[in-house]
Structure 1
Amino acid sequence: MSTEPDARAPAPPARQRILDAARDRFYADGIRAVSADRLISDAGVSKVTFYRYFPTKDDLVVVYLRGIEEEEFAAMEAARVEFDNDPASILHWYFERVGAMACTAGFRGCAFLNAAAEFARMDHPARVVVEEHRRWLRGRFADIAAGLGVPPSEVGLVADQLQLLRDGAMIAGSLDANPERVATEVLAAADAVIAAARSRHAGPGES
């Protein structure tokens, strides 16, 4: 059976082509730097079609961020199932994933942090999505911390530490000339957080 792409296969629907173009351009070049005309050209659609699906650029930015968010939701849920809800395994997987992303060609950091840097107003639609995503992620870190036996009074602190670690790795991975080093160190740091959380609250005879 031939593995060559079928030249007769229909092109993706116009809306999806616009989203694909936006995802590539927004991430590589920055949201504000990319014009609607540039996306219209990349997607091969008319202005009428573009504005039919996305009346404003902000509408497109929100859908772009929501799409990345949904992928993260799905990946976290798949990990939860794969590791049978074991919190240490899920956290280890998450930071391995962050490290692997940092080593990917063209990595420019976290799309949500990048968007937050471009839009200062907290009521901007993009910032609303960013803040919702960060609350969700912090909640997952809090769940993991609780699963590791961290007392309720310290769960928030551990979740904050893990989120700071994640943010730092995303930024360092986009700036460091040696992203492999970032990948190695973030995983070691995550393991240290896990070990510290366990050792602080281990009972007699536990490690």
Structure 2
Amino acid sequence: MSGDSAPFNLTHHFLIAMPGLDDEMFSKSVVFVCEHSERGALGLIINKPADMPLTALFHKIDLTLQRADLLEQPVFQGGPVQTERGFVLHEPVITGGPEAGESLYASTMTIPGGLEMTTSRDVLEALSIGSGPKRVLVTLGYAAWGEGQLETELGENSWLTTPADHAIIFDTPADQRYDRALGLLGLQSWMISQQVGHA
């Protein structure tokens, strides 16, 4: 036995930025981690609306959004990587028939914990005709960490972590998601100073 601890996996967790993290994109951000392995991590910032409603995004790609429940929803800044590309975080669409359990869409990552992240246009086409996943969050861009990078940032007290709560992603106003995510840890933003961990 080498004594090494098993690698921890933050898939389906929130990363909550500590006050000392003053990067423009990540300051006061809540990141939903879609994938975390020894090769690195991929996530979507869920609380930074871009200056664009979903209707405008659909217009840009020659679709009309037919879902009344989504008309007022903003597109989010998902992170600094591939900011021209759309990423759709959504609940799985349950299908019957022989392919039950498979995603309906061409390019979907199944996230353990009950969500999917789709990058193919077909999910937007489904929304444009009034169907598609019931609850969605659409981002432009994503956040990525290389091998060991997220672990280093955690060691530097840049992030707090907690298992993700779907209600915060889909049902909580964007400007309340940071405080709600902290609340999962029993914290409020005034309790965490910029000096935490820097004795």
Q: Same fold (TM over 0.5)?
A: no
Bigger RCO of structures 1 and 2 (CA < 8 A, at least 6 apart)? 2
Q: Which has the higher helix share?
A: 1
TM-score (ref. length: structure 1): 0.28
Larger Rg: 1
